[in-house]
Amino acid sequence: MRTPFYMKTLQQDLGHWIDQGWVDADHKDKILQHAASKKSSMNVISILVILGVVLLGFAAISFVAANWAGMGKLIRVALILSAMWIAFLIAAFALSRKVMVYAHAFGLLGAILFGAGIMLIAQTFNIQAHYPTGVLIWFFGAFTTAFILQSKPILIFSCLLAGLWMSMAFAGNIPDNLQLWLFPVLAIILAFSAIRLKSKVSLHIIAISLIVYLSSCLFRGVDTFDIEIGMLFSLNGGVFIIAALLFSLLPKGFFGRNVFVGWLALAVLTTAFSQQFGFNSFNNEYLLLGVLAGALLLIVALLVWHWRTKSLPFLLAISIFTGSALILFNPAIIIITSEILVQMLYGAVFFASCIMLLVHGTNSRQNYLLWLGGIGFTAQALYVYFETFKDLLNTSLFFLIGGLLLLILSVIALRLSKNSKQQIENQKAAS
């Protein structure tokens, strides 16, 4: 059932809605009864049970660790495996009784103990293997449990394990670069499972892991293709922009679309912002220049597609194109102009892009765009101050100017929002 806090808030809101004439007073009791009968996806009881069994898992592992020296090898393994199977049996029993909170909790405990068993067996019998392989096996066991129980908490744990394995694999040496092809497969499987179970937390973890994966793949080019690290910022930015535009082709109501687009857009802003701290120029790397040109052509094609389907306003599409060109080709532009001119142009486009994100986020009511635009605008304003005006303006004058600019921006956004709402109301009235 719903929490008492939710029910109290709903009752207060209903009183206000009835006073305003938005809700019929005769329907109040029926609405409250319906809300009380609905099950919350994650309530206090669920959290307490899951935390309780996780602490049980740590207790079992701590007990084995404390008595490690006095136990024989087989006893150590038998204790962990017995605890794991007991947890799985309790989860199966809870599932048969349809007590899902205990099924999820003890399934998660079993998945945790499965990983502890893998590490324990490897250490006890001195098995020589590449250490991320144990995490990969652990992932498969946890994901199988999540799939059988259709459990969000265990799926979240599986996503964390997949990201951990991928990061460890890039940090170490995997034969045949296993992570290059296996992680995308795992990410797709996990994403479909998260969409099916409506687990946004899982999608957030997958999106972050995807960004780490793309960056790790590109940074391998430092050694493989002898590319300067500074050039990889251009490649990183281009890949993130293309990925964000591809994910934004999904229907607006598609579950998880905004999660991937939001994280990739944040990765683009972070890459673009970081690029300002060290602009680089090309050193006759014509092959890389051709790759970047191909990336820009693909970005243009995706922007044209978005513009024709009216999923992106024209000004925002132009802003994305200009920003993409600068991210990809600022090393080449420096050669024909100067670094100071590129910095000024780069900063102006960065500010304009953040403003466009704020405006588009306001009009489309997409809060993640408002956050991105606000964070980017603030970060760029601080960067400009510390790079250029710190010797010319005192801190109070700088923040006064910055505050006035933000207020002007808020007025513009408010007027655009009102105009958008007015257009919607006029269209409704006409229909």
pLDDT (0 to 100) of residue 284: 52
Condensed to tens digits (0 to 9), the pLDDT of residues 213-223 reads 998 888 776 66
Statement: residue 226 has pLDDT above 70: no
Q: What is the mean pLDDT of residues 84-104?
A: 87
Q: What is the mean pLDDT of residues 19-36?
A: 75
Q: What is the mean pLDDT of residues 251-279?
A: 87
Q: What is the mean pLDDT of residues 13-24?
A: 76
- Given a contact cutoff of 8 angstroms between Cβ atoms, the answer to whether 245 and 302 are in contact is yes
Condensed to tens digits (0 to 9), the pLDDT of residues 308-337 reads 888 888 888 888 898 888 888 877 777 777
Question: pLDDT confidence of 118, banded at 50, 70, 90?
Answer: confident
Q: pLDDT: is 366 or 389 the higher one?
A: 366
Condensed to tens digits (0 to 9), the pLDDT of residues 269-313 reads 888 888 887 776 665 566 677 888 888 999 999 999 988 888 888
Q: How many CB atoms lie within 10 A of CB 387?
A: 12
Token reading at 104: 């999820």
- Given a contact cutoff of 8 angstroms between Cβ atoms, the answer to whether 245 and 268 are in contact is no
- Given a contact cutoff of 8 angstroms between Cβ atoms, the answer to whether 363 and 417 are in contact is yes
Statement: residue 395 has pLDDT above 50: yes
Token reading at 275: 């690029």
Q: Hey, what's the torsion of the CAs at 319, 321, 326, 327, to 10 degrees?
A: 100
Question: pLDDT confidence of 158, banded at 50, 70, 90?
Answer: very high
Residue 285, helix vs strand vs coil: coil
Q: pLDDT: is 346 or 188 the higher one?
A: 188
pLDDT (0 to 100) of residue 1: 45
Question: pLDDT confidence of 176, banded at 50, 70, 90?
Answer: low
Condensed to tens digits (0 to 9), the pLDDT of residues 54-71 reads 777 777 667 666 665 666
Type of residue numbered 189: I
Statement: residue 209 has pLDDT above 50: yes
Statement: residue 264 has pLDDT above 90: yes
pLDDT (0 to 100) of residue 222: 64
Question: pLDDT confidence of 20, banded at 50, 70, 90?
Answer: confident
